[in-house]
Amino acid sequence: MSQAPDPAAPDRAAAPAPARHPVDQVPSPARLLLLGLQHVLVMYTGCVTVPLVFGAAAGLDTSTVGLLISADLLVAGAVTLVQSLGVGKVLGVRLPVVAGATFTAVTPMILIAGEYGLQAVYGSMIAAGLFGLLVAVPFARAVRFFPPVVSGTVITVVGLSLIGVAAGLIAGEDPEAEGYAAPGRLALAGGIVLLIVLLTRFTRGFLSQLGVLIGLIAGTLVAVPMGLTDFSAAEDADWFGLAAPFHFGAPEFPVAAVVSLCVVMLVTFTESTADMLAVGEMTGRPVDRRSLARGLAADGVSGVLGGIMNGFLDTVFAQNVGLVGMTRVRSRYVAAVAGGILVVLALIPRLGELVASLPGPVVGAAGLVMFATVASVGIGSLRKVEFEGTGNLMIVAVSLGVGMLPVVAPDFYRAFPTWVQIIGGSAITSAALTAFLLNLLFHHTPSSRSRAPADS
């Protein structure tokens, strides 16, 4: 006699498996590779511009700058893998985000290198990374103290303070040198800026996203017959290799340098927080405090790893956030593939030497557009701020004024102790401290809480 079927059995058999969230879906290998490469192409220029600018300002030779580029790509790739895949319950936001060197740290690093040397640069970076690991959770809980009036002001100063660096690359660093601001150099830079503008205006989608990279390539080709290129250093570089840890010697930890980069780490946290929240909204997986803390901790890891491997502090790249919104590709594994590609590129020193040999006017023209874009992003953040009757106008005004002082008058703090010159002499650090403290004064003291706006 046959056994009666279990009435519940058909329901169990018909029940579909829970659908995976788009963030956790894995595209086909071919799509993964292509989409990951697209992310790398979009962010590559911004990522390598930081070591190029820092190396030029610090007076490093082409070979050393190439080493910095390889280290930069290695750290960016490793942190991108951590952010996208996660490490247990402690690291990584687990979203399709790509990390890269932040412009925020450039000016403080240049000042530290000039005053204390490169060993202090990377020692203070390690200290800032450890500081970031310690404060990631408290920062995620206290993000309300960094509203758009603070973050927008700081990001604006980041962009404005770097315009002079771009000008130095285009015209030359020494006004007394022969060929300084030569018409040919300025014309080349102007042509690259025009090309980027035209690509942005008349192309769409992926090609428009690659405007800066195309400008770099085209500008370099034009610079060859002008005699502005010298790729001889790349010919002697190895095809494969990895920069040794602590290339510049044992790290040093001057207090002023450590404080300056710890402030930069907080500013970096502010940048990354805005971008991670944006990606969470785009992908339909909102970022809670725990996820945010894990993502910020990965930024801290970039400081420790960058200090050891001669790299740079990383943040979530806004370019790639925009790419996620444009393509609607939400898989975090695409970002992981991009991280893997960056690590592979880091293991090819000859590529780093080749990029390091790009002519100053070419890099400066691309940098001019990118730095101004950063300032524009900050201005966009300030559009969210309520100014009428809130005191926010005073916060922005004073912070911009204090931040730009060392830009327009580099010797403004020369009569003060060294630690004051390091902290006050950095436009980004001084603007961040001023905006943060003024925001507390206007919106988080007992007499102001009743009238504090929603975005403060």
The string of DSSP codes covering 171-229 is H-S-TTSTTTT-HHHHHHHHHHHHHHHHHHHH--HHHHHTHHHHHHHHHHHHHTTTT--
* Number of other CB atoms surrounding residue 34 within 10 Å: 13
Q: Per residue in 310-319, pLDDT tens?
A: 999 999 887 6
Residues 6+ apart with CB under 8 A from 381: 148, 151, 152, 155, 156, 274
Question: Is the pLDDT assigned to residue 10 strictly greater than 70?
Answer: no
Residue 435: C-alpha distances to residues 99, 151, 220, 440 (Å): 26, 8, 40, 9
Question: Is the pLDDT assigned to residue 7 strictly greater than 60?
Answer: no
Question: Is the pLDDT assigned to residue 180 strictly greater than 90?
Answer: no
The model's pTM is 0.72
pLDDT confidence tier of residue 376, bands split at 50, 70 and 90 = confident
Alpha-carbon distance of 382 to 184, in angstroms, equals: 38
Q: Per residue in 73-102, pLDDT tens?
A: 999 999 999 999 999 888 999 999 999 998
Question: Is the pLDDT assigned to residue 400 strictly greater than 90?
Answer: yes
pLDDT confidence tier of residue 333, bands split at 50, 70 and 90 = very high
